[in-house]
Amino acid sequence: MTIAAKFEIEYLQYLDAEGNQIRDDLPAFANDLEHMVGLYKTMLSTRVFDAKSVALQRTGKLGTYASCLGHEAAHVGVGSAMKPEDVLTLSYREYGAQLYRGVQPREVYMYWGGDERGNDYQKEPARHDFAWSVPIATQCLHAAGSALAFKIRKEPRVAVCTVGDGGSSKGDFYGAINIAGAQNLPLVAVIVNNQWAISVPRRIQSGAGTLAQKGIAAGLDCIQVDGNDIIAVRKAMGDALDRARNGEGASVVELVTYRLGDHTTADDARRYRGEDEVKEAWTKDPMKRLRNWLTAKGVWDDAKEEAWKAECDEWMDNEVNAYLETRTQPVTAMFDYIFAEVPADLARQRDYALSLEQKGH
């Protein structure tokens, strides 16, 4: 029998669920304990931010919100591996990556509060990243287009897109990785496999043994990573970004994690998944894993944890107040930023809406 092709998918992990180091070949960045403490602080900040966000929604001060609980290592690992000049195109849950790249919580809240000005990030390097993308997987095409522009301009930049396990089954994802392989584009496609595409479990979404292997058909470098191990995430992302930047092609990186919360605050995950499954997932909590490793290294303890949480609480209070104090846009804003030249029918609607506002309706 003649074999046309064979492939293998590497699985990368450095820390087990308890934070025990299972490999001796730590990447160089992981030996910088001050840097690792910084990564943990960002993860903890992200979790504090997430809890505050859900509380805001539950008290009627925020619209529907997509929690990132359980994704902290995956998201911070992605953001911390990128260079400032790289571009992030994401869906609607990757706050850890955004916070690392300078997005402010007040901007997140403006967006989920229905104010598109939240997409106008004010700080670098997030300022040149893409806005949130709720339509599933369309951001992958945005990343492929950006990567093509980088190649044409001969810029040493990489486009990074994030997509969920369900989103990796969309044609947008396949189209993006196919063109990336065909044109040797500087693209890293990250599949954040949190096991659930809203109410559809991973096991019936795809017959593939891994989601990483979807990149094989496109000719991409592929790897599956323990998405709750930030060392593994950062290492895999760093390698993929270096290859892309050096003209060695695009990659698919699958980060295996778990969505510990509901899909959004409009969802009740208890309707479709069992309590035992969620309890089991909590034993693999990315926060516990890194905290235990840092504690064993003697660079973190309970006092430092509580002190940083207090700083995070103060930071979040300031961000929430900034959001709540933001002046509402005029009603005309919904008409002013769609067309360069407003069509006649929308102009009439704009005038009518303005007249109602002036009458106090």
d(CA 203, CA 200): 8
Residues 6+ apart with CB under 8 A from 6: none
Distances from the Cα of 196 to the Cαs of 55, 204, 205, 321, in angstroms? 23, 10, 9, 33
Query: Could you tell me which of 166, 188, 164 has the C-alpha nearest to residue 86?
Result: 188
- Which ranges of 26-69 does DSSP label H, i.e. alpha helix? 33-58
| CB contact set of 116 (below 8 Å; sequence gap of 6+) | 337
Pinpoint the alpha helices (H) of 113-219. Answer: 138-153, 171-182
Give the single-character DSSP code of 265. T
CA 42, CA 38: separation in Å to the nearest integer? 6
Catalytically active residues, by annotation: 259, 263, 272
Q: Is 187 left (phi over 0), alpha (psi -120 to 50) or beta?
A: beta
Q: Which residues contact 176 (CB under 8 A, 6 or more apart)?
A: 140, 141, 143, 144, 161, 187, 189
**Which of these, 179, 94, 192, lies nearest to 145 by C-alpha position?**
179
Q: Does residue 15 contact residue 22 with C-beta atoms inside 8 Å? A: yes
User: For residue 98, what is the DSSP state?
Assistant: H
